[in-house]
C-alpha cells in the first residue's frame, strides 16, 4: 500500500478489502450519472493503489455526501467516506484554507448534521 | 514411583517441521520417573501403537505420555492401545504438540522449548494419575425428535424403520414445516405437497412413531442414554379422539380476521383452524386469542355444529414426561424480519414481497388461489424484479454474515415458473453472484436464462420507491455495463435471508448443546462429525445446523438417524469416570457448587461425619456420578476446596503448573 492509500485508510477508517463488489453503493448513488469513477470503483482504485486517478476524478466534487452508500453498504465499507478522504488529500496537498474555524459558529444551523457541514465546506470551496 | 514412557509423534511433518522431536524425546529422559522415550513418524498408526505396546511390556511402564495432536483427536486411540497391554487407560496423558504448539508457532527453537514444557507438564501429571474405572449406564431405547419439518420427519422415519420408538414434538398444529408452504421444488420442479404429504402420512401411520403436535419441550434433564423430558401438550380445545376432521367448525366460525400464519399473513383465517388442507393430524385447534367464546364468553358456534362433539373449551395444557436415549434437534428456520431494510419499501408497498410469500401466492391453495397477482390491486403484473441476497452476506448489524445458500436456486425456480405460465411477464433478477453448486443446479439456472429469457443483471438494487400510480421504481446498477438502471416494476420479490428458528437458542440451552453466533446449532466436528452436537446423545438434522435445501436436509436427516440408531443399538454405555467428588471433611455445605453445576448433578445430604475425632451431623455435597459430566465448574467454584475432579484433581493441575513454571 502506498503512503497515500494508507492516509486514505487512516482518514476514512475504512478497510477497502471488506468490499464484496455488490454494487449497492453505485445503485444507491444519486450522482452516479455525473461521476466518471463510480462509487463501487472508488474502492477498487484504492485497492490497487491508483490514487492519482482518484484524486484527479471529478467524482470527488460530484458526491453529494448524502451517505446513502455508507448507510446501505452491506459490508460496512462506507465508500462515501473514502471519497471524503480522497478529497481531503487534495485539500491537504494545496494547503488552502478559505474559512477559519472562528467563523464556523456563526454559520452553524442547529438542525444540520455537522458531518454534512464539514463535507460541504470541503467540496464547495472550489 | 511411576515408570513412565514418553512417545513423541512427528505427525508426518505437522509437528516435526516446527518442533525438534528428537530433542523433546531426549529431554524427556531427564524427567524423574521417565525410563523410556522415543519418537516416531506416526504414533497413531498400527506400527506406532505396537511400539508403545512393546515398551510397556519390556520396561514395565506404569504410565505413558504421548506427545502428539489434540486429545480430542487420538486420546481414545492411545487409551485403547494402553488398555490392550493391561495398562489402565487413565494412566495415559496427551501433550498436545500439534494444535497447541507446531501449528501456531513458526520458530523451531521457540516451538521446541514450548514442546518440552508441555511434555514436562504431562509427565508431572502422570505421576499423580490413578487407575480409574468407567461405570456403565443403561440406554433407553426411544428417541425424541424436536421439530416436525422434513428434517424431523425423515429422521423419525429412518429411526422407526430400524425398529426403535420415536416421538416427534412439533410446535405448530401440524407437521410439515416450511416445505409444506412451498409450491414447487427445485431442481426437478415437482410439487412440494405431492412429495411431502406421503412422508407425513408415513410418519403418522408408522407403528413406532408418536407425533405430538401443538406441543413444546419444556424441560430436559439427564444425559446420553437417559434423558428425561417434559413435553407441554398445549390445549387444542378439540378432542383428538373424537374429531373426524370434517372441517365444518372452521367453515362456520364467525371469527375470521386473524392473520393466517401459514400464508405468511397474506390473508386471514378462522379462530378454529387447521393450518392447511393436508395437515397431520387433521384436527383443528382453537386459537384462544382470537376465539370469541374465549374473549367474551358468547359464541360457541363450533361446539354447536360439531357432529362429533369434539369441541372442549375446558381442555387444559397437559405435561407429559418421557425418557429417551437420544434427542435430535430439527427446529429449522424462518426468514429474517426486514424492518431494517427501509430502502426496499417492504411494509410500505404490498407489492414488495418475500420469496416465501411468493411461494404462497403461486400455490393453488394460497391466498390468490395460485394466480400471480399484485396484492395491492389484484392486477396481473407485467414487470417483476427479483433482488438477491437481501439480508444475507451482510457484515453490518442489519443482516446475516452468511450466504443463505438456497435463494439463488429458488429465485431461478420462481423466475422460470413465472415465465412458463405467464410468458408476457418480464422478469429481471439483480444478483451479486449466482451461487448454484450442486448436481444439475447450474444447468437449472442456465435454463432460466437460455430457455426462459430471464434477464439476469449483475449488480444490486439501491432503492425501491413506490410511485403514486402504484408502480415501483427500482433503482439498481448493472456493474458489467457500469450503468445505473431505473426500472418501473409492478412487483418486487426479495430473496430474504434465512435464520434459525428463534427457539433454537432456548432448545440449545435446555440441552446444553452449543450454538454459534448466528444461532445455528454447532456440530461436534465441522468435517468429521457434522450431525452430532458436542453434547453426547444430542444430534442435528436440517436447517437448524446451517442453511441447506431439501436434498441436503434429507441426507443429513438420514445421517442423524444412523447415529441415533448406533446409540440405541447399545444396551449399555460406558460412563466417564472423570467425575467430581466432594471431600466431606472440607465441605461446608454452602451450596455454591450446586448452583454452578450445569447438569444438576449435585445434591446435599445430612451425613454423620468424623472430623478428627469429632463426630457430628453435617450438610455435605454429594455428586451423582451418572449425571456429572466432569466439566469441573464445581471444583473452581468451591470456596473450601472440597470438590475435586477425578483424573483432573487439584493436585494434578498444580503439579502441571509447577512443571510449566519450573
Ligand atoms: C422461499 C423458499 C423456497 C424454497 N424452495 C426450495 C426448493 O424449491 N427446493 C429445495 O430443495 N428447498 C427449498 N427451500 C428450502 C427448504 O424449505 C428447506 O431446506 C427445508 O424446509 C428445511 O427443513 P427443516 O425440517 O430443516 O426446517 P423447517 O421446514 O423449518 O422445519 C422445522 C420444524 O420445526 C418446528 N419447530 C421449530 N421450533 C420448534 C420447537 N421449539 N419445538 C417444536 N417444534 C419446533 C417448526 O414449526 C417446523 O415445523 C426453500 C426455502 C424457502 C425459504
Ligand atoms: S456497497 Fe459496499 S460492498 Fe457493495 S460494492 Fe459498494 S462498497 Fe463494496
Ligand atoms: S367440526 Fe368437530 S369433527 Fe369436524 S373438524 Fe371440527 S372439531 Fe373436528
Ligand atoms: S367458539 Fe371460537 S372457535 Fe368456535 S366458532 Fe366461536 S369463535 Fe370460532
Ligand atoms: S444463495 Fe444466492 S441469493 Fe442467497 S445469499 Fe447466497 S448468493 Fe445471495
Stronger pLDDT, B538 or B574, i.e. the higher one: B538
The percent of residues in chain B predicted with pLDDT above 70, rounded, is: 100
Q: How far apart are CA A2 and CA A55, in angstroms?
A: 14
Q: Which of A22, A33, A72 sits opposite B484 (nearest CB)?
A: A33
Contact, B497 vs B390, CB < 8 A? Answer: yes
Helices (H), B324-406: 355-362
Reading the block at residue B512, the C-alpha cell is 446444553
Ligand 2: which residues within 6 Å by Cβ? A 19-25, 40, 43, 73-75, 77, 79
Q: Which of B461, B475, B479 sits opposite A40 (nearest CB)?
A: B479
Q: Which residue has the cell 407441554?
A: B232
Q: How far apart are CA B467 and CA B383, in angstroms?
A: 15
Chain A: give the shortest CA distance to residue B74, in Å: 38
In 3-state terms, what secondary structure has residue B595? helix
The conformation of residue B383, written as its DSSP 8-state character, comes to E
CB contact under 8 A, A75 and B394: yes
The yes-or-no verdict on residue A101 having pLDDT over 80 is no
Please tell me the CATH superfamily of domain B142-177+190-231+322-332+515-568, with its number.
FAD/NAD(P)-binding domain (3.50.50.60)
pLDDT band at A108 (very low <50, low <70, confident <90, very high): confident
Report, in angstroms and rounded to the nearest whole number, the Rg of chain A calculated over CA atoms.
Answer: 14
The residue among B315, B128, B180 whose CA lies nearest residue B239 is B315
Confirm or reject contact between B481 and chain A (CB < 8 A). no
Q: Whose CA is nearest to atom 32 of ligand 1?
A: B332
Contacts of A33 in chain B (CB under 8 A): 484
pLDDT value of residue B478? 98
Whether omega before B187 lies within 30 degrees of 0, making that bond cis, reads yes
Stronger pLDDT, A92 or B443, i.e. the higher one: B443
What stretch of H or E contains B110?
helix B108-128
Tell me: the pLDDT tens digits for B189-236? 999 999 999 999 999 999 999 999 999 999 998 889 999 999 999 999
pLDDT value of residue B69? 95
Contact, B24 vs B56, CB < 8 A? Answer: no
The yes-or-no verdict on residue B4 having pLDDT over 80 is yes
Quick one: B371 exposed, middle or buried, by C-beta within 10 A (0-12, 13-18, 19+)?
Answer: middle
Report CA(B518)–ligand 1 centroid distance (Å). 17
Q: How far apart are CA B345 and CA B353, in angstroms?
A: 9
| Mean pLDDT (whole number) for B640-652 | 94
Confirm or reject contact between B475 and chain A (CB < 8 A). yes
pLDDT band at B594 (very low <50, low <70, confident <90, very high): very high
pLDDT value of residue A92? 76
Report CA(B209)–ligand 1 centroid distance (Å). 20
Report CA(B558)–ligand 1 centroid distance (Å). 16
In 3-state terms, what secondary structure has residue A97? coil
The yes-or-no verdict on residue A99 having pLDDT over 70 is no
Helices (H), B288-362: 292-296, 301-305, 355-362
- Which class is B334-499 in CATH? alpha beta
Domain segments of chain B as ranges: 4-127, 142-177+190-231+322-332+515-568, 248-305, 334-499, 580-646
CB contact under 8 A, A23 and B395: no
Angle at alpha carbon of residue B561, lines to B557 and B566, rounded to 5°: 150
Confirm or reject contact between B345 and chain A (CB < 8 A). no
Model's pTM, two decimal places? Answer: 0.87
Quick one: B253 exposed, middle or buried, by C-beta within 10 A (0-12, 13-18, 19+)?
Answer: buried
| Mean pLDDT (whole number) for B59-78 | 95
In 3-state terms, what secondary structure has residue B167? strand
Reading the block at residue B137, the C-alpha cell is 449406564
pLDDT band at A112 (very low <50, low <70, confident <90, very high): confident
Confirm or reject contact between A23 and chain B (CB < 8 A). yes
Q: CB neighbours (10 Å) of residue B32?
A: 10
Reading the block at residue B661, the C-alpha cell is 513454571
pLDDT band at B499 (very low <50, low <70, confident <90, very high): very high
Contact, B203 vs B153, CB < 8 A? Answer: yes
Contacts of A72 in chain B (CB under 8 A): 343, 462
Q: Whose CA is nearest to atom 1 of ligand 4?
A: B300
Q: Which of A27, A72, A76 sits opposite B484 (nearest CB)?
A: A27
Closest residue in B to A26 (Cα) is B477
Query: Which whole-number Å values give the CA distances from B459 to B478, B484, B519, in the listed order?
Result: 5, 9, 29
pLDDT band at B604 (very low <50, low <70, confident <90, very high): very high
Report CA(B265)–ligand 5 centroid distance (Å). 25
| Mean pLDDT (whole number) for B347-353 | 97
Chain A: give the shortest CA distance to residue B355, in Å: 20
pLDDT value of residue A102? 78
Looking from the CA of residue B406, the nearest atom of ligand 5 is 1
pLDDT value of residue A114? 73
CB contact under 8 A, B460 and A22: yes
Reading the block at residue B54, the C-alpha cell is 512393546
> Which CATH number does the domain B4-127 belong to among 3.30.450, 2.60.40, 3.40.50, 3.90.1570?
3.40.50
pLDDT band at A123 (very low <50, low <70, confident <90, very high): low
CATH number of B580-646: 3.30.70.3270
Confirm or reject contact between A68 and chain B (CB < 8 A). yes
Q: Give the phi and the psi of residue B185 in degrees, each rounded to 5.
A: -120, 135
pLDDT value of residue A100? 67
The yes-or-no verdict on residue A124 having pLDDT over 60 is no
What's the mean per-residue pLDDT of chain B? 96
Confirm or reject contact between A113 and chain B (CB < 8 A). no
pLDDT band at A121 (very low <50, low <70, confident <90, very high): low
Contacts of B395 in chain A (CB under 8 A): 18, 74-76
Contacts of A38 in chain B (CB under 8 A): 477, 482
Contacts of B399 in chain A (CB under 8 A): 74
Range with lowest mean pLDDT among B256-260, B455-459, B469-473, B583-587: B583-587
Overall fold of domain A3-123: Fumarate Reductase Iron-sulfur Protein; Chain B, domain 2 (1.10.1060)
The yes-or-no verdict on residue B112 having pLDDT over 90 is yes
| Mean pLDDT (whole number) for B609-616 | 89
- The DSSP bridge pattern shows strands B268-269 and B333-335 to be unpaired
B417-436 residues touching A, CB cutoff 8 A: 432
Stronger pLDDT, A4 or B549, i.e. the higher one: B549
| Mean pLDDT (whole number) for B341-357 | 97
- The DSSP bridge pattern shows strands B63-68 and B4-9 to be parallel
Query: Which whole-number Å values give the CA distances from A55 to A14, A61, A68, in the listed order?
Result: 17, 10, 21
pLDDT value of residue B83? 96
Q: Which residue has the cell 410439487?
A: B191
Same-fold call for B4-127 versus B580-646: no
Report CA(B467)–ligand 2 centroid distance (Å). 27
Tell me: the pLDDT tens digits for B523-558? 998 999 999 998 899 999 999 999 999 999 999 999
In 3-state terms, what secondary structure has residue B560? helix
| Mean pLDDT (whole number) for B162-190 | 97
| Mean pLDDT (whole number) for B446-464 | 98
Contacts of B389 in chain A (CB under 8 A): 22, 74
pLDDT band at A98 (very low <50, low <70, confident <90, very high): low
The conformation of residue B166, written as its DSSP 8-state character, comes to E
Domain segments of chain A as ranges: 3-123
In 3-state terms, what secondary structure has residue B211? strand
Chain B: give the shortest CA distance to residue A125, in Å: 29
Contacts of B394 in chain A (CB under 8 A): 74-75
Q: Which residue has the cell 473514502?
A: A82
pLDDT value of residue B222? 87
| Mean pLDDT (whole number) for B329-346 | 97
Chain A: give the shortest CA distance to residue B76, in Å: 42
In 3-state terms, what secondary structure has residue B250? helix
The strand ranges marked E within B242-324 are 258-259, 268-269, 272-273, 285-286, 318-324
pLDDT value of residue B505? 96
Going B558 to B561 to B563 to B569, the CA torsion angle's sign is negative
Quick one: B277 exposed, middle or buried, by C-beta within 10 A (0-12, 13-18, 19+)?
Answer: exposed
CB contact under 8 A, B432 and A23: yes
pLDDT value of residue A126? 46
Amino acid at each position: 500500500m502506498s503512503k497515500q492509500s494508507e492516509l486514505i485508510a487512516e482518514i476514512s477508517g475504512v478497510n477497502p478489502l471488506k468490499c464484496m463488489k455488490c454494487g449497492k453503493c453505485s445503485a444507491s448513488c444519486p450522482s452516479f450519472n455525473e461521476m466518471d469513477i463510480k462509487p463501487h470503483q472508488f474502492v477498487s482504485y484504492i485497492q490497487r493503489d491508483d490514487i492519482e486517478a482518484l484524486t484527479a476524478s471529478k467524482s470527488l466534487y460530484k458526491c453529494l455526501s448524502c451517505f446513502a452508500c455508507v448507510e446501505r453498504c452491506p459490508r460496512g465499507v462506507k465508500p462515501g467516506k473514502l471519497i471524503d478522504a480522497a478529497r481531503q488529500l487534495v485539500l491537504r496537498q494545496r494547503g488552502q484554507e478559505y474559512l477559519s474555524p472562528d467563523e464556523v459558529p456563526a454559520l452553524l444551523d442547529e438542525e444540520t448534521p455537522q458531518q454534512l457541514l464539514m463535507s460541504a465546506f470541503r467540496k464547495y470551496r472550489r | 514411583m511411576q515408570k513412565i514412557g514418553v512417545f513423541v509423534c512427528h505427525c508426518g511433518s505437522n509437528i516435526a517441521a516446527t518442533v525438534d522431536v528428537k530433542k523433546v524425546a531426549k529431554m524427556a529422559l531427564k524427567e524423574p520417573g521417565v525410563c523410556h522415550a522415543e519418537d516416531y513418524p506416526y504414533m497413531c498408526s498400527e506400527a506406532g501403537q505396537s511400539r508403545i505396546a512393546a515398551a510397556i511390556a519390556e520396561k514395565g511402564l506404569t504410565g505413558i505420555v504421548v506427545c502428539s495432536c489434540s486429545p480430542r483427536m487420538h486420546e481414545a486411540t492411545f487409551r485403547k492401545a494402553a488398555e490392550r497391554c493391561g495398562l489402565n487407560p487413565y494412566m495415559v496423558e496427551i501433550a498436545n504438540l500439534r494444535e497447541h504448539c507446531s501449528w501456531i508457532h513458526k520458530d523451531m527453537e521457540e516451538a521446541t522449548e514450548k514442546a518440552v514444557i508441555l511434555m514436562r507438564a504431562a509427565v508431572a501429571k502422570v505421576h499423580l494419575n490413578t487407575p480409574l474405572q468407567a461405570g456403565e449406564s443403561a440406554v433407553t431405547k426411544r428417541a425424541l425428535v424436536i421439530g416436525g419439518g422434513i428434517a424431523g420427519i425423515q429422521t423419525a422415519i429412518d429411526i422407526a424403520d430400524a425398529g426403535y420408538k420415536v416421538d416427534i414434538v412439533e410446535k405448530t398444529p401440524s407437521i410439515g414445516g416450511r416445505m409444506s408452504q412451498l409450491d414447487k421444488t427445485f431442481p426437478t420442479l415437482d410439487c412440494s405437497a405431492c412429495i411431502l404429504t406421503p412422508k407425513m402420512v408415513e410418519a403418522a401411520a408408522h407403528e413406532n412413531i408418536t407425533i405430538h403436535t401443538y406441543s413444546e419441550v419444556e424441560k430436559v434433564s439427564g444425559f446420553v442414554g437417559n434423558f428425561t423430558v417434559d413435553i407441554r401438550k398445549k390445549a387444542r380445545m378439540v378432542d383428538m379422539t373424537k374429531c373426524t376432521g370434517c372441517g365444518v367448525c372452521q367453515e362456520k366460525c364467525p371469527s375470521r380476521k386473524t392473520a393466517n400464519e401459514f400464508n405468511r399473513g397474506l390473508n386471514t383465517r378462522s379462530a378454529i383452524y387447521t393450518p392447511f388442507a393436508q395437515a397431520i393430524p387433521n384436527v383443528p385447534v382453537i386459537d384462544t386469542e382470537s376465539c370469541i367464546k374465549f374473549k367474551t364468553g358468547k359464541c360457541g358456534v363450533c361446539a354447536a355444529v360439531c357432529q362429533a362433539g369434539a369441541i372442549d373449551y375446558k381442555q387444559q395444557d397437559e405435561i407429559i414426561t418421557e425418557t429417551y436415549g437420544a434427542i435430535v434437534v430439527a427446529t429449522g428456520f424462518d426468514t429474517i424480519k426486514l424492518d431494517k431494510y427501509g430502502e426496499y419499501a417492504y411494509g410500505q408497498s404490498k407489492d414488495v414481497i418475500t420469496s416465501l410469500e411468493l411461494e404462497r401466492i403461486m400455490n393453488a391453495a394460497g391466498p390468490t388461489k395460485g394466480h400471480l397477482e399484485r396484492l395491492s390491486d389484484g392486477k396481473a403484473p407485467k414487470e417483476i424484479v427479483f433482488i438477491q441476497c437481501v439480508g444475507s452476506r451482510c457484515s453490518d448489524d442489519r443482516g446475516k454474515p452468511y450466504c443463505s445458500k438456497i435463494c439463488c436456486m429458488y429465485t431461478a425456480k420462481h423466475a422460470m415458473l413465472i415465465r412458463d405460465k405467464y410468458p408476457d411477464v418480464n422478469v429481471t433478477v439483480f444478483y451479486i453472484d449466482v451461487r448454484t453448486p450442486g448436481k444439475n443446479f447450474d444447468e437449472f439456472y442456465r435454463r432460466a436464462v437460455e430457455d426462459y429469457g430471464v434477464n439476469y443483471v449483475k449488480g444490486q438494487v439501491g432503492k425501491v420507491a413506490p410511485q403514486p400510480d402504484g408502480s415501483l421504481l427500482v433503482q439498481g446498477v448493472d456493474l458489467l455495463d457500469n450503468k445505473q438502471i431505473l426500472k418501473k416494476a409492478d412487483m418486487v420479490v426479495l430473496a430474504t435471508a434465512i435464520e434459525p428458528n428463534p427457539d433454537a437458542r432456548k432448545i440449545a440451552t435446555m440441552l446444553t448443546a452449543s450454538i454459534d453466533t448466528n444461532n445455528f446449532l454447532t456440530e461436534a466436528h465441522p468435517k468429521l462429525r457434522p450431525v452430532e452436537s458436542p453434547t453426547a446423545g444430542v444430534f442435528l438434522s436440517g436447517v437448524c445446523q446451517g442453511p441447506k435445501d431439501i436434498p441436503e436436509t434429507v441426507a443429513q436427516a438420514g445421517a442423524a438417524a444412523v447415529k441415533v440408531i448406533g446409540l440405541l443399538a447399545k444396551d449399555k454405555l460406558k460412563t466417564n469416570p472423570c467425575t467430581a467428588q466432594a471431600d466431606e471433611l472440607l465441605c461446608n455445605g454452602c451450596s455454591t457448587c450446586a448452583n454452578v453445576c450445569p447438569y444438576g448433578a449435585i445434591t446435599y445430604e445430612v451425613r454423620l461425619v468424623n472430623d478428627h475425632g469429632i463426630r457430628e451431623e453435617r450438610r455435605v455435597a454429594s455428586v451423582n456420578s451418572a449425571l456429572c459430566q466432569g466439566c469441573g465448574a464445581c471444583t473452581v467454584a468451591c470456596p473450601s476446596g472440597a470438590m475435586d475432579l477425578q483424573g483432573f484433581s487439584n493436585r494434578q493441575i498444580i503439579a502441571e503448573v509447577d512443571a510449566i513454571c519450573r
